[in-house]
Amino acid sequence: MAVVPVELGGRSYEVRIGKDLLRDAARQCAPLLRKSSVPIVTDANVARRWREPVEASFAREGVEPHWLVLDPGEAAKSWENLQRVTDWLLAEQVERGDHVLALGGGVIGDLVGFAAAILKRGCGFIQLPTTLLAQVDSSVGGKTAINTGAGKNLIGAFHQPSLVLADLGALATLPDREMRAGYAEVLKYGVLGDAPFFDWLSAHGVEVLAREEGSLEHAVATSVAAKARIVAEDERETADRRALLNLGHTFGHALEAETGFSDRLLHGEAVALGMVLAARYSARRGEISDADAERVTRAVNAAGLPSEITALGLDCDGRRLAEHMLHDKKMDAGTLPFVLLRAIGDAYVARDVELADITEFLNGELRAD
Ligand SMILES: O=C(O)C(=O)C[C@@H](O)[C@H](O)[C@H](O)COP(=O)(O)O
């Protein structure tokens, strides 16, 4: 098992990465639990696979899990579900010192984390991420949120979990498309700040996607360590450091908004395409070489992820995509900071990007054949 600490003073916690952690969930969580029952929120897909082994694990410790099972999908990150989860936790008489468990992918983690953030002004929560994307990204760092009609993650809070258990065995049954989508966030750590890891992924990415144990653990642990370092330096995204983790997201969130946050384009797919667009836009500004921008495109393609906006069949122009970006949380006094690249492994936050220029760039991408 690999253990990555997230160093945040009194709110520090561990991310434990290894096999069979869900079958051992009760023992792993035991020091944090105070009652003979524990609330667990999950979705129907995850429940089908993991309810029984998790339940057995708690039975061995004499703890009774109480379950709330939601519909799967990005649409679950809604006001309605936030109310449903918080009402349920109140009915469960959860106190501030208690922990609620979020068992599932990024949607469950973000939603339950936000519910925990506001329940009685903050109760504990434990992340049990079951997708690659959630293991390497959303379960770590304390960003919690729901979506609204105006965009993604616009209502939320910073609220750190007390523990993250990333069970690599949970990835064995993950659909290939979800695996590739999570891989986009793995690749992101190489592109934004770790060129040797980018090179390692170029050679071993296939093994990661095939879930070969050693390569998978290395990829997850390296990704989590990168995120933990950045979060420890800039927990609340105030110093142009944590914002680097948003590489590909400004373009990506706009594409997600345009496709209605639907299965048409998964979050990780949007990030992969967004990363390609960020690299190409950086090349257009003369900041990264065309060759390196092309390497980013090739790495995205090699993972079976989308690299061309034209393939989405969108019925919109660059201006419409740029308008989605105006809702971005990074908007600052009328300007939108963009995470761009000087080289692979050297991302930075640009504050001089004109939306008119982005619009022109996107129009070019939308017309490309
Ligand atoms: O943890 C962060 O910080 C990130 O930006 C990681 C992103 O990959 C993640 O998708 C995050 O939830 C997006 O953050 P947002 O602030 O753009 O909603």
Concatenate the DSSP letters of all residues of 304-362 into one string. T----GGGG-----HHHHHHHHTT-TT-BTTB--EEEEEETTEEEEES---HHHHHHHH
Rounded to the nearest angstrom, the distance between the alpha carbon of 197 and the centre of ligand 1 is: 20
Quick one: tokens of 365?
């991408």
Measured by CA distance, the residue closest to atom 13 of ligand 1 is: 246
Check: CB of residue 113 under 8 Å from CB of residue 144: yes
Active-site residue, from 253, 280, 295, 324: 253
For residue 153, the CA-to-ligand 1 centroid distance in Å is 9
Same domain, 121 and 144: yes
Nearest CA to ligand 1 atom 9: 138
92 and 222 share one domain: no
Q: What per-residue confidence (pLDDT) applies to 327? A: 86
CA distance 76 to 43: 9
Atom of ligand 1 nearest to the CA of 249: 17
d(C-alpha 146, C-alpha 142), whole Å: 13
Q: Is the CB of 188 under 6 A from ligand 1?
A: no
Give me the pLDDT at residue 150, please. Answer: 82
For the question of residue 237 being annotated catalytic, the response is yes
164 and 292 in a single domain? The answer is: no
Which atom in ligand 1 lies closest to the alpha carbon of residue 227?
A: 1
Task: State the CATH number of the domain containing residue 162.
Answer: 3.40.50.1970
Contacting residues for 92 by C-beta, under 8 A, at least 6 apart: 37, 39, 66
CB of 137 closer than 6 A to ligand 1?
Answer: yes
Q: Is 249 in the pocket of ligand 1 (CB under 6 A)?
A: yes
Based on the fold, state whether residues 102 and 6 are members of the same structural domain: yes
- How many Å lie between the centroid of ligand 1 and the Cα of residue 145? 10
Assign residue 237 the CATH number of its domain: 1.20.1090.10
* Alpha-carbon distances, residue 164 vs 85, 221, 244, 291 (angstroms): 20, 12, 22, 38
150 and 103 together in one domain: yes
Query: Of 156, 173, 190, which residue sits at a domain end?
Result: 173
Kindly report the CA angle at 143 between 273 and 50, in degrees rounded to 5? 85
Q: What is the ipTM of this complex?
A: 0.96
Helix (H), strand (E) counts: the chain: 13, 11
Is 320 noted as a catalytic residue in this protein?
no
SS3 122: coil
Q: Is residue 128 located within the same domain as residue 185?
A: no
Residue nearest to atom 4 of ligand 1 (CA): 245
pLDDT in tens, 91-137: 999 999 999 999 999 999 999 999 999 999 999 999 999 999 999 99
Q: Of all atoms in ligand 1, which is nearest to the CA of residue 185?
A: 8
Strand locations in 82-139, DSSP E?
Answer: 99-104, 124-129
Question: Is residue 211 annotated as part of the catalytic site, yes or no?
Answer: no
The CA-based dihedral angle spanning residues 302, 182, 47, 13, taken in that order and rounded to the nearest 10 degrees: 150
Q: Does 154 lie in the same domain as 225?
A: no
Indicate which residue's Cα is closest to atom 18 of ligand 1.
153
pLDDT confidence of residue 333:
86
What is the SS3 assignment for 102? Answer: strand
Number of domains in the chain: 2
Nearest to 209 by CA among 233, 176, 241, 236: 176
147 and 83 share a domain?
Answer: yes
CA 94/CA 97 separation, integer angstroms = 8
Distance, in Å, from the CA atom of 112 to the CA atom of 154, rounded to the nearest integer, reads 15
DSSP conformational letter for 353: -
Contact of 70 with 41, CB cutoff 8 Å: yes
16 lines ligand 1 (CB under 6 A): no
Calpha distance 346→212 (Å, rounded): 29
Q: Annotation-wise, does 218 bind a ligand?
A: no
Question: Burial level of 232, CB count in 10 A (0-12/13-18/19+)?
Answer: middle
CA distance 315 to 259: 10
Q: Is 106 annotated as a binding residue?
A: yes
Structural domain containing residue 197: 176-367
Residues 195 and 328 in one domain: yes
**Pair 198, 74 in one domain:** no
3-state helix, strand, coil in the chain (%, to 5): 55, 20, 30
Q: For the whole model, what pTM was predicted?
A: 0.96
Structure tokens at 276: 């390609």
Instruction: Please indicate whether residue 327 is annotated as part of the active site.
Output: no
The answer to whether residue 267 is catalytic is: yes
- Residue 130 marked ligand-binding: yes
Q: Ligand 1: which of 144, 191, 249 to mutate, judged by most atoms within 8 Å of the beta carbon?
A: 249
Question: Does the beta carbon of 143 sit less than 6 angstroms from any atom of ligand 1?
Answer: yes
Name residue 4's beta-bridge partners: 15
For this structure, is 249 an active site residue? yes
Output the CA angle 80-113-233, nearest 5 degrees: 140
Q: Is 159 a catalytic residue?
A: no
Print pLDDT tens along the chain (369 aa). 999 999 999 999 999 999 999 999 999 999 999 999 999 999 999 999 999 999 999 999 999 999 999 999 988 999 999 999 999 999 999 999 999 999 999 999 999 999 999 999 999 999 999 999 999 999 999 999 999 888 889 999 999 999 999 999 999 999 999 999 999 999 999 999 999 999 999 999 999 999 999 999 999 999 999 999 999 999 999 999 999 999 999 999 999 989 988 889 999 999 999 999 999 999 999 999 999 999 999 999 999 999 999 999 999 999 999 999 998 888 888 889 999 999 999 999 999 999 999 999 999 999 987
Under 8 Å between Cβ of 182 and 136: yes
* 329 within ligand 1 shell (Cβ under 6 A): yes
- The verdict on 305 and 214 lying in the same domain is yes
- Residue 185: active-site member: yes
